[in-house]
Structure 1
Amino acid sequence: MSVHVTAVDDAAWAGPWRRIAVGHKVGLAAALVLTALLTPAWPGSLLVAGASLVLMLGPARIRPGLVAAVALPPLAFLVVGALPLAVEVGDGLRVTAEGGLRAAEMLAHGVAGTLAVLLLATTTPMVDVLGWLHRRGIPGPLLEVAELMYRLLFVLLSSALALQAAQAARLGGDAPLRRRFRSAVDGVGTVLLMSWRRATRLQAGLELRGYEESLPTLRPVGRAGGWGLGAGAALVVGIWLACWAVA
């Protein structure tokens, strides 16, 4: 899971959509999410899900394996959440046609909205989103705390991955389960200590840099590129027109 988190961030930094204005991508993702929620499951949610996948795999050039890896956990959660809607409690548990239809509709809306959110997550680094929020008037101290916490999350992940690799090299693949469990318990404390030391060094680096009131970072100059605001608006309008035609 931690590898997926860093892979998503790496894909967002290196992808061709990095140079597109953040506001355009936020607006497109928000419009697709609202469309998935407000239009009928057929064909609205299906069209939103398909459009999100096409954009991620096509213009955004996100690897199919990465899309599948980051989409699988929330999709599994949606499936588990939809199951109770399909089951009726009476003399026993049974699946009804009405309940199955509600579950399928809820699942369709959820899948479409999730893919629309992932479109933003896989194409926009968090630092760009925070910078965009700062330009929208969100207080700087709140955003800097969020940015530092996001950075410390990667510090924790890198520490855990380094410890996991060291334990795998030391224990090998034939260690007893009890020894593995004891090593995992010891590893939790070690990771916390390693993360604390690295966070302390990060704080010292900020102080040496002269940090007082703001944390300036370089921001890419946003531009519409090959997929701008007009193309996103046309896509959303096309989905609404298709839903209206079917209705």
Structure 2
Amino acid sequence: MSPIDREAHLNRWRQKPLVEKLLLALGMMLLALALKPWPAAALITAVMTGATLIGARVSPRVWLACATAPLGFLTVGVVSLVLRIELNGVSLAPGGIEAAGSLAARSAAGVTCLLFLALTTPTCDLLAGARRVGVPAEIIEVALLMYRFLFILADEVSAMDAAQAARLGHASKGRRLRSLGLVAANLLPRALDRARRMEIGLAARGWRGEMRVLSDRPGTTLRGVSEVAAVLCATAFLGIFA
């Protein structure tokens, strides 16, 4: 299980209804797009980061690891807006600092909203919610199978890598590179074989495009929705009049 899935299943807000978490994340994202970048976007970033790290008690190390890549791409985008490269050299672009600040503020707010949803809500809950809003059952089941298959492939790669290490396949850089090539070459046939066996197993069990399981998730409550609405209204008020 990946660190993201582990945090999604073990965080403090794991049992909160999906509707409440979706309302908070998507509501904050809409506010970040609709309101001015300052101070609304900065306030949204702080609120959603606090909700993830303090409210749901997600590991700061996992949160930072997940935020590094999108924030890195954001940094590259900000630099490309601030600087202008010409034949005479590099200079500041007209209005680039303002545009870069707006982009950075809104994008950071959106990233924190998505991280909140990803680190507090398991994939199976998101797909169950998609089923309830009318997404065809076949699409949901294919998504679940693909999600499960990712872990199967990860286990295959880990087993193959451990076997190569036991045979001194990592003794030198050259052997390590050759071992990685062998893993890449053999992973696709193994993946296709596992997928074929999974298909045969589902067909043998009479799969008709829908596999439901019992769920102990609590239903949406008026109190929970009211609390989320209050947070959204307070954030919007501060973002407009602060």
Same fold (TM > 0.5): yes
Q: Are 1:31 and 2:27 matched, yes or no? A: yes
Runs of 4+ in 1 over 4 A off after TM superposition: none
Secondary structure of 1:94 counterpart: strand
Contact 1:29 1:117 (C-alpha < 8 Å) held by counterparts: yes
Q: Percent identity?
A: 32
Per-residue CA distance 1:27-72 (angstroms, 9 max, x = gap): 1111111112222221111111111111111121111111011111
User: Aligned ranges for residues 1-247 of structure 1 at < 5 Å?
Assistant: 6-90=2-86, 91-96=88-93, 98-171=95-168, 174-175=171-172, 177-223=173-219, 228-246=224-242
Secondary structure of 1:158 counterpart: helix
Q: Please identify, of 136-145 and 196-205, the stretch whose mean Cα deviation from structure 2 is larger.
A: 196-205
CA distance in 2, matches of 1:75, 1:161: 29
Secondary structure of 1:19 counterpart: coil
Q: Give TM-score scaled by structure 1 length.
A: 0.88
Counterpart amino acid of residue 63 in structure 2: V
CA distance in 1, matches of 2:202, 2:216: 22
Per-residue CA distance 1:136-190 (angstroms, 9 max, x = gap): 1111111111221222122222222332333344437641x22222111111122
C-alpha distance 168-79 of structure 1, shift in aligned 2 (>3 A): farther
Count of matched residue pairs: 240
How far is 1:77 from its partner?
A: 1.0
Q: Please identify, of 157-166 and 26-35, the stretch whose mean Cα deviation from structure 2 is larger.
A: 157-166
Contact 1:19 1:223 (C-alpha < 8 Å) held by counterparts: no
Contact 2:131 2:140 (C-alpha < 8 Å) held by counterparts: yes
Structure 2's unaligned 5+ residue stretches are none
CA distance in 1, matches of 2:166, 2:92: 49
CA distance in 1, matches of 2:209, 2:195: 19
Question: What's the Cα RMSD here?
Answer: 2.1
Q: Please identify, of 49-58 and 82-91, the stretch whose mean Cα deviation from structure 2 is larger.
A: 82-91
Q: Please identify, of 118-127 and 17-26, the stretch whose mean Cα deviation from structure 2 is larger.
A: 17-26
Q: Please identify, of 193-202 and 27-36, the stretch whose mean Cα deviation from structure 2 is larger.
A: 193-202
CA distance in 1, matches of 2:103, 2:128: 34
How far is 1:97 from its partner?
A: 6.8
Counterpart amino acid of residue 107 in structure 2: G
CA distance in 1, matches of 2:164, 2:77: 36
Secondary structure of 2:13 counterpart: helix
Contact 1:52 1:115 (C-alpha < 8 Å) held by counterparts: yes
Structure 1's unaligned 5+ residue stretches are none
